[in-house]
Structure 1
Amino acid sequence: MVAGSGGRRHWGWVLPSTALLLAAASACGPAEESLDPQASLEQAHKLETTNGLSLNGLSLNGLSLNGLSLNGLSLEGLSTPEFESWFRTNPELNDMVMKYVVLCAVPAGVRRTYTAPHTGDTYVWTGRLGLAPDWSNGSPATVTEQRIVSACLAAHANKYGINISISVQGLSATGVPIPVSTAELVLFSEKEACFFGNLFTQESIYVGNDGRPLNDRESTARACALSTRSNLVSQECPPMVRVEQDCARYCTLDASRRFYVSCTYDGITWPSITTRMLRKDIYTCGDGVCQRTESCGTGETYDNCGRDCGPCP
């Protein structure tokens, strides 16, 4: 499943979004798949929906305050006083949070609609990954559903607000794989990160490198996911906690060895989400383009990149 750029819809008008989710998989068998990476990306863009959860959205403990984990992610759950009270504290931010909660938890194409009693504004959120089927149907969220939705939310958090496409892989709470085509795996050639934890409770949310650490000349807008070699244990994306070694140290691969089904850390085994990225979204100081992740200076490292960004004023 692929994530990329686009817009978010709210009450009849459109705001630019920091990124967006694209479904790249199809129900066709292998004989019908296109192995042309460009064709795969074009197909992905036909199925785009919003993505780009802010780090602030992960930091508010909103998932434990809005009552949905106990009341179900259904019309009844969205109608409770607890949800209304939570939502009205910051409608713009909580609209964004709910877009990704529904995107991660609810099946593709299934919508959740909420009309805020205090304003009359209506919000529509569309499902995509279907990771929490029981919760989506109105039951309280199981611990497994809380954890896999939390991992999915963390995977879609964006530090820089730049549109970045990613491939999202993992299992639903009931063990159903997110569908991923062969073409998608070819296109998204760079391993990126694993995510696990629980945002619904006082437990932490963790991220680890799956791909090679970037060298000091390299950088990416997905810095919360893929770190540099010199920054392996930095905690620059709270509330996400970076584990001190890579995913392979803590996590178990699925039978195909494409993604991690679970990670064991601090004595707990968590379901996990694995991501991959495009090679072009890893930037190098010296390529002639001053990226948002690079800084002016006199050197050749991403944070002192005179070759691309020039000397500092």
Structure 2
Amino acid sequence: MSWLRFWKRDDEQTAGQPGGTVTLPADRPLPPHLAAARQRAQDNRAGVAETPDGGARRLAELERRRQAALFEVEQGELASTADNPWEQRIALLTEALATVNDDLERLDAAPPEPFAALHETPITDIVVSSGQPPSVGFTVGDQRFQYDEEVDWAERGHQVAMGELRRLAGDPARLVPTTISAELVESLTVHLTDSLFVFASDLRDRQLDAEPFPDRPTLADLGRPCAVCGGWRDWRGRCQACARRNAERGQLKREADRLLDERAGEVEERHRLVERMPIARRRLADIETQLDALETARA
């Protein structure tokens, strides 16, 4: 029921009474929207009584703007000096950039990786099973290598992904020639371990794709020299030493780009502050003029 209809109903009920007036109970509540409007009016009246007058608010705003303009002028004056924080940061960034460039030059001029040739020992007795799980076996010299695939099973027992091969038999260290220097034994053993894994994975993939096996592979095929860095290449022709150098080179280049961007930002910031200083001075003078006029009017 709307309040208009409510008042009409009360008027009809009191028609014929002396004076035609309606006496409402003292505790009758106001409608929610009227009560909210009354509360807002009371709050506004209380706020007006507590807030400063318009002149005080204007004075506070001008003082805030004056401080901002003064700070901008001071920053511009500081940036105009010969020895300023921006120039100091630019010098530090330039020094760091020179160090990074030196590291890049040293990396490009790095000596060839150590290398020792492997024997042309045939890889024989290749057996690849495509069952579950797939397995790969082959013989190199007196070492029989056996790799089985790690199975990744779903909840209902179905294989959901091709897993990595695990070496179950064979010792790569036994394939390292006894004639090489002692300092190369460990690195060559690590390389052979990785290259044998790559070779076994390639055999498994060829079996699954119904492709022929490689023709008369040898142990030397697992460690041919790299034409770029001189180190060993694996069965697929990939060189870990080159990959390591390329990763380091990429990291250094990203660092150089970051330093260049940061230095350019410092130069741009310093130039902006110096260029805007005359504008900031004029704005500061205008604000101070307004402040003087306002204080004179309030006096």
The TM tier, using the shorter chain, reads: under 0.3
**TM-score calculated relative to the size of structure 1:** 0.20
Tell which has more relative contact order, 1 or 2 (C-alpha 8 A, sep 6+). 2
